Every structure is written in C-alpha cells, then in structure tokens.
Amino acid sequence: MPKPNHHPIVEQANQIFEKLVQWRRTFHQYPELSFKEFGTSKFITETLQQIKGIKVETGVGVETSVVGTLTSLGQVDMEHILS
C-alpha cells in the first residue's frame, strides 16, 4: 500500500493544484451574487463536460447549479484539467 502522501489521488491533486488556485483567483476576481453565478456555472459546466468519466447535470434545484457525477470506478481523464 502506498504511503499516504504518495497515494495516486494525492499525486493527481498535487498535479492540478496550481490550476485550481488559478481558477479560484479568477472566480474571486469576478464575484457573482448567490444563485446568480452564471459565469462560474458556465465555466464549471464546460470544464466538467470535457472530462471523460463525469456526467454533468445543470439546473438541479437552482438555475445555476452544476452536478458532476463519476460514471465509472476507473480513473477520470485528468488531461483536460492539466492542459
């Protein structure tokens, strides 16, 4: 069994860390009111739709909601996030 800090999930998270920080900074640079996060919702939807292994649903309960569901127990294709 891999050591906790060398687990494949932790390694994948570390690979996308800088990208996630960049996204967070962009979201905060362009703040949106609660339940009116149309720009953020669009970005999240488009990003998730490009990742193999995730089913995306929008407008669940609230117009701006986004739900991403893993469709298999296999690895999610992280290449889009890394590019």
Tens digits of residue pLDDT in 16-73: 899 999 999 999 999 999 999 999 999 999 999 988 888 999 999 999 999 999 887 6
pLDDT number for residue 43: 95
Look at the chain and count its residues.
83
pLDDT number for residue 9: 77
Report the number of distinct structural domains present in the chain.
1
Cα–Cα dist 69/38, whole Å: 20
Cα–Cα dist 27/25, whole Å: 5
- The pLDDT confidence band at residue 12, using thresholds 50, 70 and 90, is confident
pLDDT number for residue 11: 83
pTM score, whole prediction: 0.75
Determine the structural domain holding residue 37 and report its residue range. 4-82
Q: Per the structure block, which two tokens stand in for 58?
A: 């929008």
**CB crowding 9-26: b at 16 or more within 10 Å, else e:** eeeeeeeeeeeeeebeee
